[in-house]
Chains A and B, each alone.
Chain A
Amino acid sequence: MPRPIPIASTLSPSHSSVRLSVVVPFYNESQNVCRMHQAIVQSIEPLGVAFEMVFVDDGSKDDTLELAIEIAKADPRVQVVKFRRNFGQTPAMAAGIEYARGEIIITMDGDLQNDPRDIQEFLTKMDEGFDIVVGWRFNRQDKLISRKIPSRIANRLIGSVTGVPIKDNGCSLKAYRASVIKHIPLYSEMHRFIPAMASIAGPRIAEIKVRHHARQFGKSKYGLSRIYKVLLDLMVIKTVASFTARPLLWFAMLSMPMMLIGVAMLVYASAAAFRGAVMSLPIAGTGLILLAGAVVLLSSGALAEVVYKLGDLRERDFARLTRRVRRPALAND
């Protein structure tokens, strides 16, 4: 398997001179690339932090890539990662995070809706000891019906299911400690759930208000189309985040009601037979089906235990990871 060359090891940030990486995915944003670059530079340079930018071109069809390369030529702090074709926002974020070298990684949208001027506050929060800082677009500039209301419902739901009450999971502007985020698997459409995924590692999560601008250029790329996907993804998160260490338990809980009802029905049917009455076939049959189903589910649980054992990702790995994290304050650099 050919793998991209790892540029800097996360576990040894001391080898890297870069403290902050700003990851920005672009997809057909030719009008925004240069503006974005300028805005980032203008807001970070005064802070006196060694930083770099990772621009991910998600297979744009316009001249986004060419513009990004021009910027990289002029500014050595810019690294451009080009995708073979369009893969989507989560993969773009994940790639940016993979190639980022800083100790702190900030992700943001490439459409100028996030404001780089907020980066300063994110850094302050990180210095307070938080591992993940997420932005909250408290005054969101989007359509109410198609964007804001569904998102509010989704966030409530995500918060109550995952136990990580974040008001705005969809906001791309987030800051992560590299040592934490680089070990969290980001796949499928998980960008919405990164804090929840990260909660497996038990990091300290903070939420701060960020500015949000209406889209000036280019077109919005999402819409209200994926309720069912979000629901299923949520189930996945719930499964992997809270039960990875004990999959058998999770499946056992699923099967328990079936088993109880099944046994009750069987007992009821046999009791009738003992009393000399005719045994009810549908009831006995249903009882058997439920019982059999419960057994199959339990077996799935056992299988899950095996899968988990053979996999290369464990809860205790996450635990080990966060325990190790201790860092100097910004001023000491």
Chain B
Amino acid sequence: MTQINPAIQISVIVPVGLRHADLTALHHDYRQALDETGRSYEFVYVLDGVIPDAGEALEQLLRSGERLTIVYLTRLFGESTALMAGFEQASGEIVMTLPAYDQIDAHEVGKLLAGLGAADIVVSRRWPRAGGPLERMRRSTFHALVSWMTGLKLNDLGCGARAMKRQVLEEISLYGDQHRLLPALADRQGFRVLEVDVRQSPRDRFKGAYRTREYAHRFLDVFAVFFLVRFTKKPLRFFGMIGAVTLAVGSVLILYLVTERIFFDEALANRPALLLSSLLVVLGLQLFALGLLGELMIFTHAGGMKDYQVDRVIEYPSAQKSA
């Protein structure tokens, strides 16, 4: 990890994927907006995979004297990994992530930075937002799911414009597609999360259709974060619950079959219910065993884990203590 450079206040990380706008124009927009805030900044562009035209444009900017760092990833890793790779090069006290295509009106970045006074991470909500009723429904379903599972009510997790204190990314390591759920993970670590309304860029329209796979991925991401947030330290609460229910259903069924066999002389042999019930019992036990295995993992690694995040320690030294 790079050292903090006091000359730079804000590090802007732009992960560039296949979907990107004209980077020259975008860079100038962002730059202009950051100049307006009057703070010092640096740009880190992360090329996620081989994107020749984007690389070209950035090299061009570099040659023309722009102060920016370009990180080339060897192949497509995804936005989360790109963000982490960018963060490794970032030296500012504040880290901003900005999308590589027009999502927000660039002049709104000041709003995000202003929000950092009262929060540790500021995410943006494109508002007012374009989109038909179907799109709006899809969005609100996703966000309702997230808020139900993680307990954090946000409205635009898809927006890549965020500002945060350096510490947030130092404590959270993202992987997979978790960048969308960064605020939920930050909240879990005890950081204050704030959502601000920003103007949407008029060019922000996603033309393609989402494939079913996208939906499945999104759902799995939410589920993974849900599990991480709620049950990392207590896997048995999760597996145990499911296991106990399965086990109970199976046992009741077995009890019923046995009663019938003993008191009503109903033969066991020709009953498929026997298969089902023993399957349930076995499954329940296995889920329980998984939970215990998880607990064992946590226990043997608990030395390095903490359930709490200390904000600061306040103490007034005296002669007695220094002695």
Chain A residues near B (Cβ < 8 Å): 1-2, 4, 17, 59, 68-69, 72-73, 76-85, 87-88, 90-92, 94-95, 99, 185-188, 229, 232-233, 235-236, 239-240, 244, 247, 250-251, 254, 258, 280, 282-283, 285-286, 289-290, 292-293, 296-297, 300, 303-304, 307-308, 310-314
Contacts and interface: CB of A to CB of B under 8 A. Distances in A.
A76 B307 contact: no
A313 B296 contact: no
A293 B300 contact: no
Contacts of A250: 292
Contacts of A297: 285-286, 289
A293 B282 contact: yes
A241 B71 CA distance: 48
B251 to A, nearest CB: 13
A239 B289 CA distance: 10
Given A90-B307, A307-B293, 19 more contacts: A1-B170, A4-B313, A72-B316, A76-B318, A84-B310, A91-B307, A92-B308, A187-B302, A188-B307, A232-B240, A251-B289, A254-B285, A258-B282, A280-B270, A293-B282, A293-B285, A308-B296, A308-B300, A314-B300
Given A83-B309, A87-B308, A232-B236, A280 B297 contact: no
Q: Which of A85, A229, A303 has the most CB of B within 10 A?
A: A85
Contact of B289 (A69, A83, A254, A289): A254
B143 to A, nearest CB: 22
Contacts of B290: 300
Contacts of A282: 268-272, 274-275
Contacts of A68: 314
B310 A95 contact: yes
Nearest to B190: A84
Nearest to B320: A76
B240 A239 contact: no
A269 to B, nearest CB: 9
Contacts of B304: 1, 312
A80 B309 contact: no
Contact of B300 (A84, A232, A312): A312
Contacts of B271: 282
Contacts of B278: 286, 289-290
19 contacts: A4-B310, A17-B320, A68-B314, A69-B314, A76-B315, A82-B314, A84-B191, A187-B305, A229-B237, A232-B236, A232-B240, A233-B234, A239-B292, A239-B295, A282-B269, A282-B272, A290-B282, A293-B286, A313-B300
B282 A289 contact: yes
A63 B301 CA distance: 36
Contacts of B313: 4, 79-82, 99
A300 B293 contact: yes
Interface of B: 167, 170-171, 189-192, 233-234, 236-237, 240, 268-272, 274-275, 278-279, 282-283, 285-286, 289-290, 292-293, 295-318, 320-321, 323
Contact of B308 (A1, A83, A236, A310): A83
Contacts of A185: 299, 302-303
Contacts of B323: 17
B303 A313 contact: yes
Given A232-B240, A244-B296, A313-B300, A283 B285 contact: no
B167 A2 contact: yes
A82 B310 contact: yes
Contacts of B234: 188, 232-233, 236
A312 B289 CA distance: 21
B106 to A, nearest CB: 32
Nearest to B298: A187
B76 to A, nearest CB: 28
Nearest to A297: B289
Contacts of B315: 72, 76, 78-80
A76 B316 contact: yes
A73 B318 CA distance: 10
A229 B234 CA distance: 10
Contacts of B317: 76
Contacts of A188: 233-234, 307
Contacts of B170: 1-2
A282 B167 CA distance: 59
A305 B49 CA distance: 40
A186 B305 CA distance: 10
Q: Which of B233, B307, B309 has the most CB of A within 10 A?
A: B307
A4 B289 CA distance: 35
Nearest to A88: B307
A63 B236 CA distance: 37
Contacts of A251: 289, 292
A313 B303 CA distance: 7
Nearest to A4: B310
B200 to A, nearest CB: 31
B32 to A, nearest CB: 34
Contacts of B296: 239-240, 244, 247, 304, 307-308, 311
A4 B309 CA distance: 9
A201 B172 CA distance: 33
B185 to A, nearest CB: 14
